[in-house]
Amino acid sequence: MSGVTNQEEDKKPADQTAHINLKVKGQDGNEVFFRIKRSTQLKKLMNAYCDRQSLEMEEGDEIDAMLHQTGGAMA
């Protein structure tokens, strides 16, 4: 026997997917990258982005999020 218990074999290195890398892109095309935990609230990410961009957002301000749509042929 090697002396290794099942518990020791089941231990894995720290979860590599505990963090995710995100890119926040502004209307001007400026990109800001963040590495956050999966459990981090979106509010915390938005506040960090606003602080970096000096947007001076206040309580009650809104952020509109939309899907990028391509298309629209001339008739």
Indicate the pTM of the whole model.
Answer: 0.51
Question: How far, in Å, CA of 54 to CA of 66, rounded?
Answer: 22
Q: Where are the domains of the chain?
A: 17-53
Which has the higher per-residue pLDDT, 20 or 69?
Answer: 20
Question: How far, in Å, CA of 55 to CA of 66, rounded?
Answer: 19
Question: How far, in Å, CA of 34 to CA of 48, rounded?
Answer: 9
For 30-64, write each residue's pLDDT tens digit. Answer: 888 999 999 999 899 988 888 888 878 788 888 88
20: Cβ–Cβ under 8 A, 6 or more apart, which residues? 35, 36, 37, 38
Judge whether residue 13 has pLDDT over 80: no
Question: How far, in Å, CA of 49 to CA of 44, rounded?
Answer: 9
Say what the pLDDT of residue 14 is.
Answer: 56
Judge whether residue 23 has pLDDT over 80: yes
